[in-house]
Amino acid sequence: MSRVDASESAGANPALWYTRCPLPTASAVAIDQGILQRSFEQVGVQVQSLLSTDDPKVRQSHFDHGVRNLFRQGGNIPPIWSRSRGADTCVVGISVTREYQAIAASATGSIRAPGDLRGARLALPRRVGAAIDYWRAMCLHGYESALAVAGLTLSDVELVDLPVQESYIDAPVGGQGKNMPLWGGPSRARRQQAELIAFVRGEVDAFYASGALGLQMVAMLGAREVVELGFDPDPKVGANNQVPNILTVDRTLALERPDLVARYIAALNEAARWARAHPDEAARSFAREIGAPEEWLPAAYGDKVIDSLPLALDDDAIAALDAQAAFLRRHGFIDSAVSIEQWIVAEPLALANQEIFQA
């Protein structure tokens, strides 16, 4: 993959970039509370958000990792996709934050349980021109998991294609806070516009919803929750783009400057400890990131969301990434297989856990 020369290559003091998805993450707290900035100021290294530039190629790096020395925490589909296309990245930490995921249908209709989805029309949005259509993949994965509960497959339903013209990342907006995520309120509100309109018009029978915004949509429509996936006792049922979420970075930086990558991980884990001690303030950070009222957080991410923030490299989370990569390959979202085991570089996490990096 070609790389945008938006930062220096790994060296004595490379400039670092960061980005994250609108989820409850340690990154959200570390950025909001200045923990990340302060940590790197100690060693004279600049860290800056992709949001600080108007260059669309740099901003698009949230999906394709097109700039050097970029840290990204968030959903796993775009990083797996970019890795499959040759991006020289690595996974250095994983967090598993449960997230509300459901298939919803009309409260007055006949679809009441997963088995009733046989023959149903399921909304499947498609971002026209998107290099990696992560939301389409999320919906499809959610449907596959829900149907499997009833012993059904995707061949038992009708997938209704819904073209969407709007791109995933907003154009720069004047006065936009440099620490905010790449998504503004209007684009977040329109994330499921196509599904909502098709559902109201009666063109589809059911749709996939996730997170706080998904809960709001189900409540607004007065829809019936056919099956909830995110908090199923079997974690494999709820595995999707955002579960688990991963921290990726340039492999060159991780191998040549593991101290800097370890410092980044340590700052995030320090933020996770801070969040445990200040849960109300952390909740406000999460609500700003997600673009939803705080009252939706427990239902959307569980009562133990604060405990899920630290980064690790647990076997179960790695297995979930393996399954996700296989899903993406099976459904044509990626053309080449991705070895999760070969993608992981564990040294920075081990270094971050040493006493020298502890606050």
pLDDT in tens, 272-329: 999 999 999 999 999 999 989 999 999 999 999 999 999 999 999 999 999 999 999 9
**pLDDT given for residue 152 in this prediction:** 98
Residue 244: is the preceding peptide bond cis (ω within 30°)?
Answer: yes
Is residue 91 over pLDDT 60? yes
Q: Which residue has the higher pLDDT, 5 or 115?
A: 115
What pLDDT, on the 0 to 100 scale, is given for residue 240? 97
Output the pLDDT for position 179: 56
100-106: average pLDDT: 98
Spelled out in words, what is the top-level CATH class assigned to the domain 16-97+242-357? Answer: alpha beta
Looking at per-residue pLDDT, the higher value among 237 and 12 belongs to: 237
Query: What is the domain partition of the chain in residue ranges?
Result: 16-97+242-357, 101-228
Residues 6+ apart with CB under 8 A from 103: 114, 117, 122, 142, 143, 146, 206, 207, 208, 209, 225, 226, 227, 229
Topology, domain 101-228:
D-Maltodextrin-Binding Protein; domain 2 (3.40.190)
The pLDDT of residue 9 is 44
Distance CA 141, CA 328 (A): 9
> How far is residue 193 CA from its own chain's centroid?
20
- For the ranges 56-60, 121-125, 191-195, 258-262, which has the lowest average pLDDT? 56-60
pLDDT of residue 6: 44
Please give the residue that has the higher pLDDT: either 147 or 131.
147
Task: Express each pLDDT in 38-47 by its tens digit.
Answer: 999 999 999 9
Mean predicted lDDT score pLDDT of the chain: 90
**pLDDT over 70 for what percent of the chain?**
90
Q: Which two tokens stand for residue 132?
A: 């990696």
- Name the nearest CA neighbour of 203 among 138, 158, 167: 158
Tens-digit pLDDT profile for residues 162-190: 999 887 775 555 444 455 556 666 667 67
**C-beta neighbour count of 55 within 10 angstroms:** 13
Quick check: 1 pLDDT over 50?
no
Cα 340 → chain centroid: 17
What is the end-to-end Cα distance of the chain in Å, rounded? Answer: 38
**CB count, 10 Å around CB of 173?**
11
Domain 16-97+242-357 identical in fold to domain 101-228:
yes
Predicted pLDDT at 102: 98
Name the band, by pLDDT with cuts 50, 70 and 90, for residue 7.
very low
pTM over 0.85: yes
